[in-house]
Structure 1
Amino acid sequence: MTQALDFIQPNWPAPENVKCVSTIRAGGVSLAPYDSLNLGVHVADNIEHVQLNRQRLAQYLPAQPLWLNQIHGTHVMHATNYKGVCDADASFANTANQVCTVMTADCLPVLFCNTQGTQVAAAHAGWRGLLDGVLENTVDEFDQADQVMAWLGPAIGPDAFEVGQEVKDLFTAKNPAHAACFQPSNNANKWMADLYLLARLCLLAAGVKQVYGGEFCTFTDESRFFSYRRDGVTGRMASCIWLTD
């Protein structure tokens, strides 16, 4: 192993056989503005550097991650059907050593497992995915929603994510309770959106009551996280979850 990587380890009461990691931006070989553990092949970084970064991550995993082509949609890919990179924004597994993985750089990564330690999932949730139901679709893959727990990984925080009036209107039309997730911005007809609270409300509506994490801000914590909203051209982190035998 060439270099030890630092990870964010979810602080949640997952079963012992559920393993997960969330990468930070340090520890790779990519050069600025992708410095340094960029795992995204779609952001115009040197592809050889990205492959080296992915190899470094893979040393900590039981198998290659199930990489997705994320399109801000709601499709959940079942790991048993994985035939290579496909268009999806979530993946689900119920057998060991299938590494459900999503990439983010402000959007919200959500990791899931059931209390029995037999099912796991990972979802990529930007505001469009949250609105359209990517989290609800992911929960639907589990046998019992009330036995599911979720961890909210690093995303843009509520004091940094400004959106337009149309975004607030879409969410409040879906659920009036979503109004609590928007605070007035200093700019006219703009609102500060709380992705974490939106996710919690979506998960609660889907029957998930055990929700953890949500204390990060990719925008303000530049030393640890990539942020598309902050930098425009930047890398991607990965959040991975899998079952062991």
Structure 2
Amino acid sequence: MKRLPTYFLSHGGGPWPYLTGALREHYRPLEASLKALARELGSKPRAVLMVSGHWEASAFTVMASPHPSMVYDYAGFPEHTYHVEYSAPGSPELAARVKHLLEAAGIEARLDANRGFDHGCIAPMAVMYPEADVPVIQLSLQIGYDPQTHFALGRALAPVRDEGVLIIGSGLSYHNLREFGAQAKVASEAFDAWLQQTLVHSPPDARTQRLLQWAQAPSARRAHPQADHLIPLMVAVGAAEDEAAACIYHEQDFFGGVTASSFRFGQMR
């Protein structure tokens, strides 16, 4: 079985794949990148392991339901978006495997049989696999957003890449809702330039060290006042720590001024 790459995806806002009209048009470049990702992979993965910026817990927690429900964790969208269903199955088997791997690495892990899909998961999945025919489980972040802890999480998860499981860290490369659109232009450009240099143009050991010190990057805390949408990146990198990175989505006018990017780590084999 081929080893799958890992990804950090900028997932956009709320239930955007289920929108229509002008608001939906903002997402055409991101949508194209997600469709290209699925084509690049070729055959569908056995399952997807999603680490979303919209779920955190005191200890790493794994979704364990065979039929996950929905978490409508957004506000201000049309009424129909609070009734959409992404009906992909879960995978209790994979959840147990993930828990075992984490515990073997000395990382506390729990199972949650009730957790449903949040929009950090369903937004990219609804575009990549609209038929909802690929099993999906989510894995929480740990409260505190410690980069080293999440790198360790990624390292512990790496074996599932050889088992047909696609690891995705889902967040946003820029996430400051108080400074969005044109207000975000300078800060998002500066932070994205640092991300490109760190992820794509730095050797793996330097990449890790730069990411561990991400808060010292240009405009870091303007780009991420809270680190929830950046920390999934650490998991994706940790699971492919010695492998090359590529930028698979880059937009400089997202919602009128935001520079946003997504990245792949490792190659198809």
Normalising by the residue count of structure 1, what TM-score does the alignment of the two structures yield? 0.34
Which structure's relative contact order is higher, taking Cα pairs within 8 Å and 6+ residues apart? 2
Higher strand share: 1
